[in-house]
Amino acid sequence: KAGVTQTPRYLIKTRGQQVTLSCSPISGHRSVSWYQQTPGQGLQFLFEYFSETQRNKGNFPGRFSGRQFSNSRSEMNVSTLELGDSALYLCASRSRGAVGELFFGEGSRLTVL
Amino acid sequence: GQQVMQIPQYQHVQEGEDFTTYCNSSTTLSNIQWYKQRPGGHPVFLIQLVKSGEVKKQKRLTFQFGEAKKNSSLHITATQTTDVGTYFCAGRNTGNQFYFGTGTSLTVIP
């Protein structure tokens, strides 16, 4: 079974630009969540989608948005990039099993110059 | 808002020494999960604790969930170089949302 796939793996943008990151969950997983990871801050929850609906949202500004498609693939978008948006963005999918552990992708490392 | 604090932030140990990381939540959790992230890698699920006072073991790793379901710990006995990485706890609230701790970065000195 293929794991969670995130693209692109690395990207460099400049301030003011926007970026779109993509995540394909494990086949059969309908829940996809996004996290921002920066040194010393751990994993900050961005949002979670289930069956194309946003179920939870973290404390991030409106510049951060996401969506989920009918095939469970998800995208997140960051507009008007700031230097502080430089981070590893991790996507995780989850089944509805008893444990419901998160399966993470390798992440998309964004650098904002 | 809900917070999950984790200490220590960094820990250096000699190979063979024990290691413990602690996780504390500001609110009661429905369950708690632990993840390990190797350097340059992504978090990988280790275990989930659900019941108050629960203790689970995986070889040299011992996981505990507090009686009040607001704290948890991970203890590694006789660390090995393969234990290197960052250990995160993730508390789940009744709203099914995960709150990750800041992580403890473990360095094992051979």
**Cβ-based contacts of A99 with chain B (< 8 Å):** 48
Per residue in A43-101, pLDDT (tens digit) is: 999 999 999 999 889 999 999 999 999 999 999 999 999 999 999 999 999 987 666 89
Per residue in A24-51, pLDDT (tens digit) is: 999 999 999 999 999 877 899 999 999 9
Which pLDDT belongs to residue B32? 95
Nearest to B100 among A43, A56, A103 (CB): A43
Which pLDDT belongs to residue A1? 67
* Cα–Cα distance for residue pair B106/B100, rounded to 1 Å: 17
| CB-based contact B56:B47 (threshold 8 Å) | yes
* Cα–Cα distance for residue pair A39/B87, rounded to 1 Å: 14
Nearest to A101 among B33, B88, B95 (CB): B33
Q: Inspect the interface and report whether the beta carbons of B97 and A105 lie closer than 8 Å.
A: no
Dmax (CA) of chain A: 43
Which pLDDT belongs to residue B34? 97
* Cα–Cα distance for residue pair B86/B103, rounded to 1 Å: 6
Q: Inspect the interface and report whether the beta carbons of A104 and B44 lie closer than 8 Å.
A: yes
